[in-house]
Amino acid sequence: VESTIDSETDVPIGGLLVAVLVVSADPYLRGLIRSNNAFKPNDIISGFVAGKVLKANQVDKWVEGDLFGGTLPFSTHQVLSTESVAKIWKLSEFIDESDISAGIGILGMPGATAFGGLCDVLRPEPGETIFISAAAGAVGGLVASIAKTVYGLYVIGSCGGEDKVKLLQSSGHFDEVIDYKKFTTAAELANALRAAAPKGVDMYFENVGGIHFEAALAVLNDHGRVAVCGQISEYNQAQPKPFSLHALPLIYKSQRIEGFISSSWISGKIGQGKWIKDLHLWYKEGKISKQETVTEGIENWPFAFISLFEGANIGKVVVRV
Amino acid sequence: VESTIDSETDVPIGGLLVAVLVVSADPYLRGLIRSNNAFKPNDIISGFVAGKVLKANQVDKWVEGDLFGGTLPFSTHQVLSTESVAKIWKLSEFIDESDISAGIGILGMPGATAFGGLCDVLRPEPGETIFISAAAGAVGGLVASIAKTVYGLYVIGSCGGEDKVKLLQSSGHFDEVIDYKKFTTAAELANALRAAAPKGVDMYFENVGGIHFEAALAVLNDHGRVAVCGQISEYNQAQPKPFSLHALPLIYKSQRIEGFISSSWISGKIGQGKWIKDLHLWYKEGKISKQETVTEGIENWPFAFISLFEGANIGKVVVRV
């Protein structure tokens, strides 16, 4: 494959020829894959990938063999212009090629998301309680492990089904695990949260939407925070439902609801790259680990993607090219 | 009046005898004056007051003649226990008795609210645009003056009626003033905001509720913040209406909604008393001023209080005892 574009003239000055080694299937792409939206039939979908530099034509800081993460078209080989090069981040200083899937996981978007949402948006205080929804997912599982191993928080997770509950319980990262499939109303889920959180909930890492948000707000303590990261229960809806938000409790309980996206951390705009250094350190120390559901072959990407919404995946969904 | 309790034995060790000179009428009290709520007939209402120490019985840091602000029963004279003394704050270092009403205004709860909400919750960046509702009220007017004179922001205010619009326009603190009474839906108010805010709204200081919140969210920029301070449109409702909050825009626009109450600043828990020092400095420099609607006689307090909900007041409602 490489040989078809393997000549000096094909890579512009300041550009890179790269091979994509793994591509990610992430819930947020559902917002772009809609009949009325960004991607059209035969478009090449773009998303998070990790790969290796095959050729560098006078590019500052990049050489052949470097590993990278980035948002790129899902193509096995591609030439990056100077503009695109500015948007990828280097992985070589942290991992070798055998660990490349970390570039779309703990050292990629899910890592930046978990770090940003927990460390910078929620800002845990010692002894606090955190509730994490979609806790068996790539982001939720990482948040839980950091919450437990780095901050020592009281951690409550929700997930769907007995198998996932058992898996989370055995991870050692959770004090309580709630199977949300047992509940159909926010009031029921709130009761389960009250039972699981003897001191109430100080922080809610919101991945799901629907009854999760309203249940979490119902049990949120004074000075509680909600980091709004995802709404996976709503992505397949034609019209996502708005929440009912009562403003008065927000005031007299001094609570905060904050949306965020990983690009603020990946770009270095927030934290100047601290996220990847800290995550790599915690990875080396064994405080966090890769949790992956791997699919082989880029042609199988659609099945990996659909699995996200069927709750079939555990941890990061990785497609090996 | 004083003489009836003017003996050493009436003031316990560590206690104060104080005279209340001004009492405040604040919207938040509406939540306590309800058929099903805190105050019962013949209870003495408590709220923000300012006054003078008549006698101090071995109290650390307090002497006769000291001026104070605090939350106390609306009684002309009263004895404070050590516990109550811990909750009042000293005004003597900032003002003399002729300026005592500042103790329930710019150096009292409205000051702490405006400072906390603007400086610590919204955290303005140079060149940003702020929208302030109830901008003719005690808190809103103060927020506007700080936003303009201290931060140099682009300031949009809303208020009800032509007279208030003219008053705000003449204050020099607003780039645009919106008469909300011209609009009945959030969409209409949002259109007026779009016209008033050429670069969109970066911050919304929320005092009102109802259509204001939804209109402000509709025009809120990326990385926009909402400081939720009050909901005056809802306080007279038996059941305050919840907002419709769409979570997805909150995520992809990285927006924050944060409720807060002044007690966090007054107690020093946030900012360790910086609020009153900064506000006093800005007062001395002429950057902020007292805006008051004064009622004489504590027996007229109910009329002053009702005026808040009829939109009849300009600035701080002060009742002189």
Residue A187 to residues A219, B219, B279: CA-CA distances in angstroms? 10, 32, 44
Mean pLDDT of A194-213: 95
At what angle are helices A186-196 and A211-218 packed, to 10 degrees?
50
Distance CA B89, CA B300 (A): 26
Identify the three-state secondary structure at position A187: helix
Cα B74 to Cα A228, B15, B263, B295: the distances in Å are 43, 18, 19, 15
* Range A31-55 burial, b when 16+ CB lie within 10 A, else e: beeeeeeeeeeeeebbbbbbbbbbb
Joined together, the tokens standing for residue A42 give 């035969």
Give the C-alpha separation, B193 to B130, whole Å: 11
Spatial CB neighbours of B213, under 8 Å, sequence gap ≥ 6: A247, B204, B206, B226, B243
Backbone angles phi, psi at A90, to 5 degrees: -85, 135
Query: Which positions 28-57 of B are in contact with A (Cβ < 8 Å)?
Result: 31
Interchain CB distance below 8 Å, B259 and A254? yes
Task: Please enumerate in sequence order all residues whose Cβ is within 8 A of that of B28, keeping only pairs 6 or more positions apart, or say none.
Answer: B230, B235
Question: Which own/partner contact pairs does A26-30 have at CB distance under 8 Å and 24+ positions apart?
Answer: A26/A109, A26/A110, A26/A138, A26/A308, A26/A317, A27/A230, A27/A232, A27/A235, A27/A308, A27/A309, A28/A230, A28/A235, A29/A305, A30/A235, A30/A236, A30/A309
Q: State whether residue B52 is helix, strand or coil.
A: strand
- Asked if A259 lies within 8 A of B247 by C-beta distance, the reply is yes
pLDDT class of A63 with cuts at 50, 70, 90? very high
User: Which chain A residue is nearest to residue B208, measuring alpha carbons?
Assistant: A247
Q: How far is CA B287 from the centre of its chain?
A: 17
- Determine whether the interchain pair B248/A206 forms a contact, defined as Cβ–Cβ distance below 8 Å: no
**A135 has pLDDT over 70:** yes
Q: For A76-109, write each residue's pLDDT tens digit.
A: 999 999 999 988 999 999 999 999 999 999 999 9
Question: β-strand A46-57 against B176-179: which pairing, if any?
Answer: unpaired
The answer to whether the CB of B180 falls within 8 A of the CB of B200 is no
Task: Find the farthest-apart pair of alpha carbons in chain B and give their distance in angstroms, rounded.
Answer: 66
Q: Pick the residue from chain B with its C-alpha nearest to A210.
A: B247
Which residues of chain A neighbour B244 with C-beta distances below 8 Å?
242-245
E strands, B236-287, are 243-245, 256-259
Tallying the residues shown for chain A, one arrives at 321
Enter the tokens of residue B46: 């408590």
pLDDT tens by residue, A275-304: 999 999 999 999 999 888 899 998 999 999
* Cβ-Cβ contacts under 8 Å, B231 against chain A: 247-248, 251
CB nearest to A229's CB, from B228, B251, B259: B251
- Give φ, ψ of B150 to 5 degrees: -95, -45
Both tokens assigned to B188: 């209409």
Q: How far is B43 from chain A (nearest CA, A)?
A: 23
Does B253 contact chain A (CB < 8 Å)? Answer: yes
N-to-C CA span, chain A: 13
∠ Cα B280 B159 B304 (to 5°): 70
Helix pair angle (B211-218, B186-196), 10° resolution? 50
Q: Measured between CB atoms, which of A231, A244, A264 is closest to B242?
A: A244
Q: Is residue B1 over pLDDT 70?
A: no
What is the percent of chain A where pLDDT is above 90? 76
Name the residue among B237, B182, A253 with its Cα closest to residue B193: B182
User: The whole model's pTM is what?
Assistant: 0.92
Tell me which residue of B174, B143, B179, B138 sits closest to B307, measured CA to CA. B138
B221 touches chain A (CB under 8 A): no
- Residue B151 φ then ψ, to 5°: -100, -15
pLDDT interval class at B30 (50, 70, 90): confident
List alpha helices for B64-161, DSSP H: 82-85, 109-115, 138-149
Query: Between residues B7 and B170, which one has the greater pLDDT?
Result: B170
- Whether A271 contacts chain B with CB within 8 A: no
CB contacts of A230 in chain B (<8 Å) are 251
Q: What pLDDT score was predicted for residue A233?
A: 78
* Comparison of pLDDT for B100 and A34, the residue scoring more: B100
Burial class (CB in 10 A: 0-12, 13-18, 19+), A266: buried
Q: How many Cβ atoms sit within 10 Å of the Cβ of residue B167?
A: 18
Cβ pair A123, A274 in contact under 8 A: no
Q: Which residues in chain B touch residue A234, judged by CB atoms under 8 angstroms apart? A: 247-248
Kindly state whether A179 is in contact with chain B, defined as any CB-CB distance less than 8 angstroms.
no
Query: Is A237 in CB contact (< 8 Å) with chain B?
Result: no
At A256 the three-state DSSP class reads strand
Q: What confidence category does residue A230 fall into, taking pLDDT thresholds of 50, 70 and 90?
A: confident
pLDDT at B79: 95
How far is B107 from B113, CA to CA, in rounded Å? 10
Q: Which of A319, A314, A321 is nearest to A303 (CA)?
A: A319
